Structure 1
Amino acid sequence: MAAQPEGTPIWADAMFSDLEGAKSFYGEVLGWTFGEASSEHGNYTEAYADGKAVAAVVPPMPGQEGHSQWCLYLASPDAAATAEKIRQNGGTVLMEPMQVGDFGSMCLAQDPGGVTFGVWQAGTHKGFEATNVPGAFCWAEVFTREPGKSDTFFPAVFGYGVKTIEDEQMDFKLFDLGADPVLGRMRMTDDFPEEVPAYIQVYFTVPDCDAAVATAQKLGGRLVFGPMSSPFGRFAAIVDPQGAAFAVIDVTTTEGEMPKIS
């Protein structure tokens, strides 16, 4: 597999205090199966959709117990150099670049508005083995109350182009690499409770959005938004029983005209 261009979403994982509970929930909602826990790397456990690695779940490290959250990793050819660019552009490096066996190198960071994300320099672990198929990652959006900071920071660090979706109802940008949009940026409105921090919403593909929502609710998940049909697919935002926010989307069910992009 060729190296992913810098800034491409390349991997996603989340920490869960109840790892077995998370496996049961996502196994039913997204159809995931799970590999053996890697005791050498903190019981890191990969999730698979149709046999392809699509994400991972892991118990919290000591001192990090509490609120679960999905973390999106962006590709980098040099994690240390990216960490330096993060600092130079007003971001914060939460965890210094570290080597993870021969799998690759990672760091964790925040943009100036508090959006947490990861950086992954691939070694033997190249990232997602599948995208845009049921159970796999297909899209992500930066949700922030300080959109101007994100709009400056992410292009400066990762070389994104920036386009605007023309919609009077929302403040939404697209970050792209060439012609391909790779990440959205949504301004958080007053509809978001003050205690909800800035975050990256990770979207996983499902064959039926409404069925996925019903399953999530049956298992203790909370519906936050939707299901709603759009030109991109029918989607919904969910918080899992341990507090991790994510979204599901059926990309085969579309409705309406594509928005104008400038």
Structure 2
Amino acid sequence: MLASLALVRRGGREVKIEVYNAVEAEEGYSMVMTHMERVRRIYLEPLTDPDGGEGLALRSLLTAAPLALLYSCRDVQGGVEDVKEALNKYIEGTKVGEGQISRAELPEAEVLYSKLLAREACRYAGQQAGDASGGYGLKDLRGAAKVFQAVSYLHEIIVVKRELQRLDEAFKKLGETSKCSERNEWLYSELNCVDDKRRSYEECRKDEEYEKAKKHVGEPMVRNFIAHAGLLDSLVVLRCGGRADYRDWEAAKNILWSYGGLGTASKAAGEGGQRRSAERRL
């Protein structure tokens, strides 16, 4: 888990773990390396399902959604140091003796790991992004997206090599046409079908999909959200000058909360209620 946190802090770059053991020698002890491992992916199995901004940030991380990650981090309360303080209390409250381990009433290690991972991801993404007023530019999104390479290789392909390239092409289309003289803000879906004369203005806006996202989100929409790195053209607004924004962040949040890929560790242990109360104490 510590290696995963270091991996996120480094923006998805490799972390090397070396394990040493003290072996008795003629003149005391010598240190011998017993294990070495190169960590390139985040350890996902222990993740719990935090409330609030941390839960949204983890979902954005796992669905490879850079714009959603930057938005989610606005809702994260507190910083990394708050959780580190709780982690120190966890360590201090753990007593080992006579073959037994006892702990004070403290949050589970998985809870701390999940919140730390979310806040580290937000710290890194925030360092890469500039001023959020008026949305985020491609440079902001590409910077934040570097952390996704720590989740899976597929995340790199979907986000960096495909969806952000498509977004770049849409911005170029916006700049090359006369649309900016008409108005400063366009739905991503409008630009995607700007040359399709058979489709009406309403069809281009895909308001039906947007309305569904506001009310009820089914599994197909969640899959679509993941397939497009959170940049659903019915939810994303493009502004002249190269800035992207969510048309309605609440609708995007509904999709993120419908993603069911979190909380497996806590569910398996049957600790749901205890976990929630522990999280509130952080």
Q: TM-score range by the shorter chain?
A: under 0.3
Name whichever structure is richer in helix by fraction: 2
Structure 2-normalised TM-score?
Answer: 0.26
Q: Which has the larger radius of gyration?
A: 2
Greater RCO (CA < 8 Å, at least 6 residues apart): 2
Normalised to the residue count of structure 1, the TM-score between the two structures is 0.27
Question: Greater share of strand residues, 1 or 2?
Answer: 1
